[in-house]
Amino acid sequence: MITSAAPRLAAPPTPRPDAPAPRRGAAARATRRAQTPSEDPPGRGDPPADGSRRDVLGGALAFGVGRLSLARQSRAADPPARVEEPAQAPGAAYGAVVNAQLGYQFAYPLETISRKALPLVYSREPVHYSAAVPLSTDARQRIVCELVDLIDGVFISVSVGPPAGELVDYDPEEWSPEAVAHSVLADRSTARKPTGERISLSTLQTVSSEVHDGQMYCYYEHISRGSPTVRNASRETFRHSLAVTAWRPGAGGDPYLYTLNLTAPEGLWRDLAPLYQGSVESFRLTAVTKDYVPPDKIPLLPF
């Protein structure tokens, strides 16, 4: 567990000196497709409608989530997966997002440790990958859901996209948590070297990984330079973040990364770190239902 001063995350793993040689190009893609179940993914479907507040709260009570306040979720034909109440701050109020179309769920804090309310609102309602806003000009990673508190400078987002950088040359089974974190952060950045290679503007602090129900989840903490906010007009500001990344194959067999990223100004970190830790630990890729549509099933919309 963690204290309010800093989240519990393991030290970065030592790079493997005996890492296997990469399998490149068509051979690697063919190998991944061969390992993907041949069952044809569901066809295109309209995004599931949002459930009513009564439906959401009723489902929470049925699952005994206690004070986990479910603010909104997507309606699905099957019962929604359970979102566990994060254990880092017992009794704190949480909301939840459960999206059956892309198959993910997570809890997010509605208040800080000091019980200050976070007036989070959707800046981007949950949408399919094909219709989501790209994070950069190459449109690989796209924000499929985002909640914001503009006054306090709190941002909570889920992005989806194919692997980039060094991950492309290896099969997912060979990915290290540190390589996943560096790849995701660099792919979100717009900074580039003279050679054109994209570089991350975030400083990676700690990295760890855990396996839940056979699925690998990579957890990492990072810091970046921020912009002035309503509460802090200083030019020299920093943002502290926690993130978790997992992956699953798309319709064509190639992996897609799902990343939950929670960020806040450095001045709010002590009041949010335990709650953010609970959020990243609540993040799950859910079981595929008839409402699930793989990220690459629908052609990308232009932006």
The DSSP symbol for 223 reads E
Task: Let me know if residue 19 belongs to a domain.
Answer: no
Residue 24, in any domain of the structure:
no
Domains: count for the chain: 1
Residue 37 neighbours by CB distance under 10 Å: 8
Please write the tens of the pLDDT for every residue from 49-91.
444 333 433 333 233 333 333 333 333 333 334 455 565 556 7
Greater confidence, 136 or 122?
122
Under 8 Å between Cβ of 266 and 238: yes
55 occurs within a structural domain: yes
Distance between CA atoms of residues 108 and 116, nearest Å: 14
Tokens of 220: 């990492």
- Is residue 71 included in any domain, yes or no? yes
| CB 84 within 8 Å of CB 282 | yes
Q: What are phi and psi of 5, to 5 degrees?
A: -80, -35
Q: In sequence order, what DSSP letters do the residues of 36-103 get, joined into one string? A: S--PPPP---PPPPBPPHHHHHHHHHHTT-TTB-----B--SSPPPP-PPPSSSTT--EEEEEETTTT
Q: Domain residues for 180?
A: 45-285
The answer as to whether 235 is a domain residue is yes
Q: What is the CATH number of the domain that holds 105?
A: 3.40.1000.10
> pTM for the complete prediction?
0.70
Mean pLDDT of 41-55: 40
Q: Which helix (H) or strand (E) holds 280?
A: helix 269-282
**What is the distance between the alpha carbons of residues 160 and 132, in angstroms, rounded to a whole number?**
9
Residue 254 domain flag: yes
**Residue 3: inside a domain, yes or no?**
no
Q: What pLDDT is stored for residue 9 in this prediction?
A: 38
pLDDT digits (tens, 9 = 90+) for 233-266: 555 567 999 999 999 999 999 999 999 999 999 9
Domain presence at residue 21: no
